Amino acid sequence: MFYFALASEAAMSTVDDSASMSAPYVLEFTYQRSTGPIMGRFFSGLKRQVILGARTSSGEIIVPPSEYDPQTGEAIEELVKLAGTGAIKSWTWVNHAEESHPLDKAFAWALIQLDGADTAMIHAIDVDSMADIYTGMRVQVKWREDRIGEILDIECFVPETELQAELVSKPTLPSPSAALSESEAVDLLQAHSKLEYTVYAGQQLRLYLQALAQRRIIGTSCPACQKIYVPPRSSCPVCSADMADIIDVADTGTITSFCVVNIPFEASPFDPPYVAAAILLDGADIPIFHLIREVECKDVKMGMRVRAQWVEDEALAPTLSNIKWFSPTGEPDLPFEAIAEHL
Ligand SMILES: [Zn+2]
């Protein structure tokens, strides 16, 4: 199963017309991925406090294991147990831990070459300060108490000596060759990704958003090929010509292509089914993407004439969300030839 969600603030913020505009954005998606036979064994091993590496045909040991020999492309078949100790090859210090980081304090990301491995793996190093870490430093894996078969079953690495006493008192680890019970096998992985960032609008995007706040849709015109781009751009992607002229286009247009969304997802604007379409606004040469409402999905057609449905005046803001959706004007459909160059 795969689903995708994109969430963002509704509008860019601005201080005045000349000020820069910015908005926080969150790009977030989650999915289950199958692990395959090699990574599945690697993750299963982590659950049992065992780190497995791949032995290539030339005898190199790669960790984390890859499914294919990066040199020859041959399938990897043999996995070998590696020590939970190694040496730091390089590192970088993180002063402020983010929510998604494995530690909630300052720490280091490091490339760690485990004893017996020919490659290095990246993971977190828990030391108190930059003064306590150096390239070549010996480190030891620290396991999480509750392991589920993922890379964060390794909580972090710590300086080797700190765990010596604990290792001595630890019960013998299970053999890596011991058969896994069905509940231990890792064949699916929950892979959640979240990217939070701030978008800063350049001059053209700022003008576009400010125009939208006035119920206007603007584009720029290419002096070389005469094409009108919406949203506006500073240069023509075909001719590379500067496009300084701002052109107002209509809030009516023609559907050039569309899809019916039948699968619900987290940030879905409506309960499906609904239509998302490419709409060629009158006066523009490039379609924009928006939603189509007030018509049955089965009645939407390429060539259908539509008009923007705007929010009320008091809700206007510098955002394309000022247009709730497009709905049919009732005019006759345009023939395919009229939109064929704008698909
Ligand atoms: Zn051009």
Ligand 1 centre from 233 Cα, in Å?
11
Read off the pTM.
0.64
Burial 231-251 (b: 16+ CB within 10 A, else e): bbbeebeeeeeebeeebebeb
Q: Residues in the chain with pLDDT < 50?
A: 1-10, 14-16, 165, 168-179
CA of 223 to the centre of ligand 1 (A): 7
**229 Cα–ligand 1 center, Å:** 9
Q: Do the beta carbons of residue 240 and residue 266 sit within 8 Å?
A: no
Measured in angstroms, how far is the CA atom of residue 122 from the centroid of ligand 1?
46
128 Cα: distance to centroid of ligand 1 (angstroms): 57
Residue-wise pLDDT tens digits, 183-194: 567 888 888 888
Given this model, what pLDDT does residue 14 score? 46
Residue whose tokens read 């494995």? 102
- Rounded to whole angstroms, the Cα distance separating 57 from 79 reads 12
Distance 237 CA to ligand 1 centre (A): 7
CA of 283 to the centre of ligand 1 (A): 15
Q: What whole-number distance in Å separates Cα of residue 65 and Cα of residue 82?
A: 11
CA of 79 to the centre of ligand 1 (A): 56
pLDDT at 13: 54
CA–CA distance, 290 with 326 (Å, rounded to integer): 7
Rounded-to-10 torsion of CA 273, 324, 231, 194: -60
Q: How high is the pLDDT of residue 4?
A: 32
Task: Report how far ligand 1's centroid is from the alpha carbon of 222 (Å).
Answer: 5
228 Cα: distance to centroid of ligand 1 (angstroms): 9
Q: How far is the CA of 113 from the centre of ligand 1 (A)?
A: 52
Per-residue model confidence (pLDDT) at position 279: 98
Separation of CA 23 and ligand 1 centre (Å): 30
How many alpha carbons lie under 13 Å from residue 75 in its C-beta half-sphere?
A: 5
> Phi and psi (nearest 5°) for 271?
-70, 135
Tokens (6 digits) for 200: 């800063």
Rounded-to-integer distance, Cα 172 and Cα 182, Å = 22
